[in-house]
Amino acid sequence: MTRQTNKIYTKRGDGGKTTLIGGVPVDKSDLRLDAYGSLDELNSFVGLVRDFAIDPEIKKTLFTIQSRIFIAESLLAAPDTATLESLPGLDENDVEFIETEIDRMSEHLNPLQKFILPGGHPVVSYCYIACTICRRAERKMAGLKLKESKQSVALKYINRLSDYLFVLARYVAKELGIEENFWIPEK
């Protein structure tokens, strides 16, 4: 009996090329790959935050967010309009969901009047790291000058997600009793 193996390596990328959805070849330095690579990194950090012992509802929200990030990634990997239209998308309800979560957490926080220095607890720091990765992904997406409606909504979602992650860091800090460290400029 012959045993089949699933090898993760294909060796097709050894020359600096990869493929978009449908097998369309592109350089690994393609700006789209840079953008969805940042989203992939973001997704990993959101998963790391979810692994911490935090509120079960937040864990559920983060799981939903991870799914939405994958959708945004796929929209960037679509080589043409036909492929893009065949993919699931994000919509205004997804954006509103993030806004509702931001508002819910913000009700428990003091108004922000100073810049915050990240830190105080590992989960808080990971929230801030996820936020900065999200902002980088957003900048890279914006640089693509996305014109398709599905991609525009994905950009809006990622913009709102960076706000969510920032507020989440503050919220988790408060829940853990961690005092925020405010930046005080030296004279």
E strand or H helix that includes residue 18: strand 17-19
The domain segmentation of the chain, as residue ranges, is 26-103+115-181
Q: What is the DSSP string of 24-37?
A: -EEETT-HHHHHHH
Name the superfamily (CATH) of residues 26-103+115-181. Cobalamin adenosyltransferase-like (1.20.1200.10)
pLDDT tens, position by position, 118-130:
999 999 999 999 9
Q: Does residue 93 have a pLDDT over 70?
A: yes
Residue 26 host element (H or E): strand 25-27
User: How high is the pLDDT of residue 53?
Assistant: 65
What is the rounded average pLDDT of the residues 158-163? 98
| pTM of the model as a whole | 0.90
What digits encode the pLDDT tens for the residues 42-88? 999 999 999 986 789 999 999 999 999 999 999 998 888 888 889 99
